[in-house]
């Protein structure tokens, strides 16, 4: 492989402006990670307008920094407050908080920071090697392959997310339908514009993402004001001892691999990989009863994995143009707005952007490691800012920000409309992630599906006869059919007891009753084994 562009990429990163934006990105990410409620997807959506005035590479460096920075920050509240700042840090709570109660909060945070750094770095190196290969392979993809790839991406994200799978598919369907608004690229016919000039060119991604992720989360947290606990302990001596490092080195190594692999898969990402890594360590341990009582590996594994996954989930985006999760979908939208369509050609056509972004992650991880250990106290202070004060700040950033995109009042109203829609969806149990992802991929999916049909002369079996699209189709069918089979299996075993599940407040389903990623999900990789790990639904939507 040609390493000259890789080296040039470092030149791009080391430009002062890019370094500054990388620093801003990771600091914002860290803050967002610490604050419960506002997730990285919401934050990136809200900050989209700020990226319009800078170079594409600078913009993406900052947005990527927010994403992986949040993985570091989420640890802090998990350990100190038993309050996961991010969905991907939920499992860290068990052993992290137990360690903190034993006066070892510093150890937990230190090992998490080291693990995150190692996981992130391993993942970047692997990304550097793998991404160009994937891109070369994907250069041969035609419309049928892209059709199925996009469908698979949407399906997996909807199927793996927590909450009801049916509702996730509905959300994805609505996203696809929203993407059809505007002039049809093939026939020129106007679709669902209701004779409005503002809608003739289709709905903009920015107000939708800002409304559904940003404003909806602000409104939702307005209703559920969390009682914030005071940080319980001063963190002392965050440098892990040599013994603790040795004890967790295996967990960090395995966590890096799990995180990297699951991060690439659509729908995988940081949350799922942290669960999987925790589950694996618990399974492998000689005395698993240590877990949940302050095992260092129980912090090291998930924290390593979530950071590795956050990094590797850039691979499908940068090489195939398919975002693997909702947060990446927002970054995809940011690229489109900058006039860059991510895809197999990106490495060749925009090497400065590709390698600039990839290499910025090294710098970002070093910055995060430097910040997260000595500056923990400072970040914990953020938690003392009341949510009643945070809410107007975030709502103003959103409102002013979206106006600056086109200097257009209609955009503000769109954000309000989609904010209300997103809020109602949250109340009704629909995840916002699949909607935004499907909206982003909608036009790509439709145009490729139509081109394929024209190519096949209307014969849908054409999708099955091409080798790559045939394989993708097979995977698609498996993803769709497996959960149904599982459902039938459970129904027959439990004699239909599921049908009368608890609907009243008095019947909590227990930790694994629902919403676990492996509870009937497409557990096709067999690596998860984390079905016994409970999850907190309310923190989940943003990162799924």
Partner 1 sequence: MTSSAPGAAEPAAPTGPDGAPEAATPEELAAQWDAEKPEPAGVVTNAVIALLVIGFGLAGVLGSWALGAGSLGSPGPGTWPLVISSAITLLGLVLLLQARATDDTERFTSESWVIVPAVLSLVPFAYLIEVIGFEIPSAALAFVWLKFLGREAWRTSVVGALLMVAAFYGIFVVALRVSIPHLF
Rounded Cα–Cα distance for residues 54 and 60 (Å): 10
Q: How far is the CB of 182 from partner 1 (least distance, A)?
A: 11
> For 464, which DSSP code?
H
Q: How far is the CB of 464 from partner 1 (least distance, A)?
A: 15
- For residue 42, give both structure tokens: 């919401």
CA angle 332, 334, 335 (to 5 degrees): 65
Q: How far is the CB of 489 from partner 1 (least distance, A)?
A: 17
Q: How far is the CB of 524 from partner 1 (least distance, A)?
A: 22
Instruction: Please answer whether residues 37 and 217 qualify as being in contact, where contact means their C-beta atoms are separated by less than 8 angstroms.
Output: yes
Query: Does residue 183 sit in helix, strand or coil?
Result: strand
Q: How far is the CB of 379 from partner 1 (least distance, A)?
A: 17
Instruction: Please answer whether residues 266 and 152 qualify as being in contact, where contact means their C-beta atoms are separated by less than 8 angstroms.
Output: yes
Cβ distance to partner 1 smaller for residue 130 or 455: 455
Cβ distance to partner 1 smaller for residue 19 or 390: 390
Nearest to 6 by CA among 124, 158, 103, 122: 124
Query: Does residue 516 sit in helix, strand or coil?
Result: coil
Q: How far is the CB of 120 from partner 1 (least distance, A)?
A: 26
**Dihedral of the CA atoms 122, 126, 129, 131 (nearest 10)?**
-130
Cβ distance to partner 1 smaller for residue 466 or 514: 514
Cβ distance to partner 1 smaller for residue 227 or 242: 227
Q: How far is the CB of 319 from partner 1 (least distance, A)?
A: 26
Cβ distance to partner 1 smaller for residue 56 or 132: 56
Q: How far is the CB of 517 from partner 1 (least distance, A)?
A: 14
Which residues does 329 contact at the CB level (< 8 Å), separation at least 6?
A: 41, 323, 433, 436, 437, 440, 441
Cβ distance to partner 1 smaller for residue 209 or 435: 435
- For residue 141, give both structure tokens: 């993809």
Q: What share of the chain is helix, strand, coil (3-state, %, to 5)?
A: 70, 0, 30
Cβ distance to partner 1 smaller for residue 505 or 526: 505
Cβ distance to partner 1 smaller for residue 9 or 298: 298
Rounded Cα–Cα distance for residues 106 and 100 (Å): 8
């Amino acid at each position: 492989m040609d390493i000259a562009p890789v080296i040039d990429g470092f030149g791009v990163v080391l430009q002062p402006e890019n370094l500054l934006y990388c620093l801003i990105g990771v600091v914002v990410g860290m803050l967002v990670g610490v604050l419960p409620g506002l997730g990285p997807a919401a934050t990136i959506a809200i900050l989209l307008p700020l990226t319009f005035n800078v170079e594409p590479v600078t913009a993406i460096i900052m947005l990527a920094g927010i994403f992986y920075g949040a993985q570091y920050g989420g640890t802090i509240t998990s350990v100190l407050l038993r309050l996961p700042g991010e969905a991907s840090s939920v499992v860290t709570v068990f052993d992290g908080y137990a360690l903190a109660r034993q006066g070892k909060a510093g150890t937990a945070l230190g090992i998490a920071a080291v693990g995150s750094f190692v996981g992130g770095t391993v993942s970047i190196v692997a990304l550097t090697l793998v991404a160009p290969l994937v891109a070369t392979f994907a250069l041969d993809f035609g419309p049928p392959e892209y059709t199925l790839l996009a469908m698979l991406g949407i399906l997996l994200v909807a199927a793996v997310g927590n909450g009801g799978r049916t509702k996730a598919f509905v959300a994805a369907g609505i996203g696809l339908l929203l993407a059809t608004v505007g002039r049809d690229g093939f026939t020129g016919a106007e679709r669902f514009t209701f004779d409005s000039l503002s809608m003739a060119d289709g709905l903009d991604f920015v107000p939708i993402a800002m409304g559904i992720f940003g404003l909806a989360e602000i409104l939702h947290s307005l209703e559920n004001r969390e009682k914030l606990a005071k940080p319980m302990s001063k963190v002392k001596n965050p440098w892990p001892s040599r013994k603790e490092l040795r004890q967790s080195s295996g967990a960090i190594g395995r966590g890096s691999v799990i995180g990297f692999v699951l991060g690439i898969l659509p729908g995988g990402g940081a949350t799922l990989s942290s669960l999987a890594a925790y589950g694996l360590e618990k399974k492998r341990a000689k005395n698993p009863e240590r877990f949940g009582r302050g095992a260092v590996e129980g912090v090291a594994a998930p924290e390593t994995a979530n950071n590795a996954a956050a990094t590797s989930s850039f691979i499908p985006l940068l090489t195939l143009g398919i975002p693997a999760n909702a947060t990446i979908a927002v970054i995809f939208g940011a690229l489109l707005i900058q006039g860059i369509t991510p895809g197999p050609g990106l490495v060749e056509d925009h090497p400065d952007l590709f390698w600039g972004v990839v290499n910025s992650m090294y710098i970002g991880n070093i910055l995060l490691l430097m910040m997260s250990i000595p500056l923990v106290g400072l970040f914990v202070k953020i938690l003392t800012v009341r949510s009643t004060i945070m809410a107007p700040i975030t709502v103003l950033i959103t409102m002013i920000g979206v106006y600056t995109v086109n200097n257009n009042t209609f955009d503000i109203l769109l954000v309000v409309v989609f904010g209300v829609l997103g809020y109602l969806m949250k109340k009704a149990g629909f995840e916002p992630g699949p909607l935004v992802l499907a909206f982003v991929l909608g036009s790509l999916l439709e145009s490729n599906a139509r081109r394929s049909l024209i190519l096949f002369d209307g014969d849908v079996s054409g999708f099955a006869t091409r080798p790559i699209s045939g394989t993708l189709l097979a995977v698609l069918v498996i993803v769709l059919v497996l959960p149904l089979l599982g459902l039938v299996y459970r129904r027959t075993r439990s004699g239909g007891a599921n049908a009368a599940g608890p609907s009243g407040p008095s019947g909590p389903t227990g930790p694994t009753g629902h919403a676990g990623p492996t509870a009937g999900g497409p557990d096709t990789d067999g690596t998860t084994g984390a079905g016994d790990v409970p999850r907190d639904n309310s923190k989940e939507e943003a990162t799924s």
